[in-house]
Amino acid sequence: MRIFCIGRNYAEHIEELKNERPSEPVIFTKPDTALVRPGEAFYHPDFSEDIHHEVEIVLKISKMGKNLEARFAPKYYQELAVGIDFTARDVQSRLKAKGLPWDLAKGFDGSGPVSGFVPKTEFPDLQNITFGLRVNGEERQRGNTRMMLWNFDEQIAFLSRYFTLRPGDLLFTGTPAGVGPVSVGDKLEAFLEDKTTLELEVK
């Protein structure tokens, strides 16, 4: 199982981090040790003083695919969830300044909590799903899939040009604006269509 992630897929998030708008999807990965299962805590690592939350919709690949056209991509995922791409922003900034990969900032243990998955058929329009994140009861992020630069099907088609997708692979599809730091003791709630689907505490 691989965890693929799409960076810079929401224009307002690109602007808040002062990044360049990409001409094609920005891809990075996390190892399976990044997963945090529902009900487990997130442990703030000691190598960073600036861990940021980035809430995202996560797709689960349902069958093997390679070199897919976007119009066929819906056959390759049947479930989705909400997840958090925890990012060591201070570590990432140092790496980016040197032109180095982001693995240490994005792929550390526990950096990818994911809620339980629900059938995509529960959502009448996959290009109009609202999701977000509350920290200690305060809403920090709210986005909608219609704001994506590349929709789910376009992301899967692009990935499949480079990687053979396998059942169980996960795809973090990008975060909207509002990312920010978390601290030990914070309680996070991620939601899909205003239904809380992921709760965890920072320890």
Alpha helices in the chain (DSSP H): 11-16, 89-97, 103-106, 152-162
Structural domains in the chain (count): 1
Give the residue-averaged pLDDT of 23-34.
Answer: 94
For residue 28, the one-letter residue type is F
Q: Are 140 and 133 in contact (CB under 8 A)?
A: yes
Three-state SS for 13?
helix
pLDDT > 70 fraction of the chain, expressed in percent and rounded = 95
CA gap 115, 55 in Å, rounded? 11
At 14, the pLDDT band (50, 70, 90 cuts) reads low
Average the pLDDT over 41-66 and give the result.
97
pLDDT-based confidence at 13, cuts 50/70/90? low
Q: What is the pLDDT of residue 66?
A: 98
The fraction of the chain above a pLDDT of 90, given in percent, is 90
Tell me: pLDDT of 138 over 60.
yes
Between 4-13, 78-87, 138-147, 150-159, the lowest mean confidence (pLDDT) is in 4-13
Given this model, what pLDDT does residue 19 score? 61
Three-state SS letters, 128-147: CCEEEEEECCEEEEEEEHHH
State how far the Cα of 158 lies from the Cα of 137, in Å rounded to an integer: 37
Alpha-carbon gap, residue 36 to 97, rounded angstroms:
29
pLDDT of residue 27 exceeding 90: yes
Beta partners for residue 73, in sequence order: none
Give the per-residue pLDDT at 8.
85
Q: What is the mean pLDDT of residues 6-14?
A: 77
Q: Is 125 exposed, middle or buried (0-12, 13-18, 19+ CB in 10 A)?
A: exposed
165: left (phi over 0), alpha (psi -120 to 50) or beta: beta
Per-residue pLDDT reduced to its tens digit, 139-178: 999 999 999 999 999 999 999 999 999 999 999 999 999 9
Query: Which residues form the domain of 58?
Result: 3-201
Answer yes or no: are the C-beta atoms of 152 and 78 closer than 8 Å: no
Q: What is the CATH number of the domain that holds 113?
A: 3.90.850.10
Q: What is the pLDDT of residue 18?
A: 56
